[in-house]
Amino acid sequence: MNYTTPHKPLDLGMTNTDFSRLSAFIYKHYGIKLPLSKKLMLEGRLHKRLKLLNLSSYKAYCDYVFSEDGQQMELIPMMDLVTTNKTDFFREAVHFNFLFEEVLPVLSKQLPVGKPFRVWSAGCSTGEEPYTLAMVLSEYHRKNTEFDYQILGTDISTRALNAAVTAVYQQEKVTPVPLSFKQKYLLKSKDPQNKTVRIVPELRSKVNFERLNFIEDSYSALQSFDAIFCRNVLIYFDRQTQESVIQKLCLQLKAGGFLFLGHSESVAQMDLPLVQIRPTIFRKV
């Protein structure tokens, strides 16, 4: 017979004090703002960590997070739960049309011979954005065989990055992918019961993934990019953090390179070396 330790029942919800400790830490180290209105959300997301660690209160969880062991062991799983990783293939599709129709014909001609076109999917979540980019850039390569490209995807969530590297998606997730792209770039499982698809090796080999925290890590170790997609990430930051992150992104963007932001993100009134080309598309001057 197997014996397991019974889970301790949770004695309390999260107190405002515990919430403040966690939210202040998350803001300071990851830039994510969590007003008090997000307390229930945070409680819900962290609940499974309490169960897994067999802790009976959020206070005990807080004490663990801020202990030496917790700082070593718990930050990655905690941030996997705190971050919102919602994403889609061909999300805000107008950006990919603009890239294909307007950016690539111009910038590909300016690339030094033998150098790839480099794109950064900054805040790439589970990989749908960088693999969409890979499909679009691969289409361009098929029409212009001398054109080569490389994509970097970065995120703070290790769980999201692992899913991105695996590159296996539920079939309903790939609904937005055009049929001709599905035929070229997605592999179906040999098992008809398995309703997943995998990105073809040809595209997977073009995308690298790294863990990068926009707030604490230096971006200067990365090479410079012809285009940066940083979409639906800045919404989690306050204005000051947004400005400092975009300034650092601009340092990694080549002169004449393009920055794509999410549809609800704005850089109005910020001191940046960018000109606006479309509502959420900017070019470095």
Q: Give the residues lining the site for ligand SAM (CB under 6 A).
A: 30-32, 83-87, 91, 123, 125, 129, 155-157, 160, 212-215, 231-233, 236, 262
Nearest approach, Cβ of 155 to ligand SAM (angstroms)? 5
CA-CA distance, 87 to 119, in Å (whole number)? 18
Whichever of 32 and 60 has its CB closer to ligand SAM, that residue is: 32
Nearest approach, Cβ of 121 to ligand SAM (angstroms)? 6
Nearest approach, Cβ of 124 to ligand SAM (angstroms)? 6
Whichever of 127 and 257 has its CB closer to ligand SAM, that residue is: 127
Residue with tokens 């805000």: 92
Nearest approach, Cβ of 216 to ligand SAM (angstroms)? 8
DSSP, collapsed to helix, strand or coil, labels residue 165 as: helix
DSSP, collapsed to helix, strand or coil, labels residue 139 as: helix
Q: Within a 10 A sphere around the Cβ of 156, how many other Cβ atoms?
A: 26
Contact between 186 and 197 (Cβ < 8 Å) = yes
Whichever of 20 and 84 has its CB closer to ligand SAM, that residue is: 84
Nearest approach, Cβ of 23 to ligand SAM (angstroms)? 14
Nearest approach, Cβ of 120 to ligand SAM (angstroms)? 11
- Phi-psi group of 139: left, alpha or beta (phi > 0 → left; psi -120 to 50 → alpha; rest → beta): alpha
Please, which residues bridge with residue 117 across strands? 149
Structure tokens at 70: 């917790």
Instruction: State the virtual CA torsion across 219, 221, 223, 225 in degrees, nearest 10.
Output: 0
CA-CA distance, 169 to 9, in Å (whole number)? 36
CA-CA distance, 255 to 253, in Å (whole number)? 6
**Residue of 68, 71, 77 lying closest to 45 (CA atoms):** 77
Whichever of 31 and 257 has its CB closer to ligand SAM, that residue is: 31
Whichever of 103 and 156 has its CB closer to ligand SAM, that residue is: 156
Whichever of 120 and 185 has its CB closer to ligand SAM, that residue is: 120
